[in-house]
């Protein structure tokens, strides 16, 4: 198991990229609009992991609500799992509160699901399915 990426809610991708790209020297491995979640994301590999910057593209997006309540900052931690369907079923059986009981396509087309912070000591956890031959670089 490893951390695939850290999700950081930002007000402006362009503004934030000045630090992550220019100051830290990271490169973007992928950038896309995930309409389903109302966000535009930029993925920047760092070591074996990545930083995912998320900017809301509409006011009803969970990222917009997050920033409104808490300001910009760490939004979620994404953990790679071998079998996301099995992991979700296992968690559900254990009484873990899930936001997504079934996986859905996320950034890069990977299968993802969110676990509610109430069950994780206050941190939104994203699970991503690890697939054979896909390094999940993006």
* Among 60-68, 70-78, 81-89, 96-104, the segment contacting Zn ion (CB under 5 A): 70-78
Side-chain half-sphere exposure of 87, counting CA atoms within 13 A: 21
Taking the complex as a whole, how short is the minimal distance between the CB of residue 14 and Zn ion, in angstroms?
20
Rg, the chain, Cα only: 15
8/135 Cα distance (integer angstroms): 21
Determine if 78 is a binding residue for Zn ion (CB under 5 A): yes
Query: Residues in contact with Zn ion, total (CB under 5 A)?
Result: 4
DSSP state of 8: E
Strands (E), 47-132: 49-56, 73-81, 104-105, 111-115, 124-129
Q: Which is nearer to Zn ion, 37 or 95 (CB)?
A: 37
- Binding string to Zn ion for residues 16 to 45, with x set by CB under 5 A, is what? ------------------------------
Taking the complex as a whole, how short is the minimal distance between the CB of residue 13 and Zn ion, in angstroms?
14
Contacts to Zn ion from residues 105-134, by CB under 5 A: 126
Exposure string for 105-135, b = 16+ CB within 10 A, e = fewer: ebbbebbbbbbeeeeeeeebbbbbbbeeeee
Q: Which is nearer to Zn ion, 91 or 110 (CB)?
A: 110
* Among 26-34, 78-86, 115-123, 130-138, the segment contacting Zn ion (CB under 5 A): 78-86
Residues forming contacts to Zn ion in the complex (CB under 5 A) are: 7, 52, 78, 126
């Amino acid at each position: 198991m490893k951390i695939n990426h850290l999700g950081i809610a930002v007000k402006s991708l362009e503004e934030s990229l000045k630090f992550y790209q220019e100051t830290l020297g990271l490169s973007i491995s992928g950038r896309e609009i995930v309409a389903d979640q109302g966000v535009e994301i930029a993925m920047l590999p760092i070591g074996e992991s990545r930083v995912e910057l998320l900017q809301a593209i509409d006011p009803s997006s969970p990222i917009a609500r997050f920033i409104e309540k808490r300001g910009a900052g760490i939004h979620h931690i994404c953990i790679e799992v071998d079998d996301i369907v099995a992991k979700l079923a296992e968690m559900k059986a254990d009484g873990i509160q899930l936001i997504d009981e079934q996986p859905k396509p996320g950034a890069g087309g990977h299968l993802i699901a969110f676990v509610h912070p109430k069950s994780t000591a206050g941190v939104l956890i994203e699970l991503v399915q690890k697939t054979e031959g896909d390094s999940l670089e993006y």
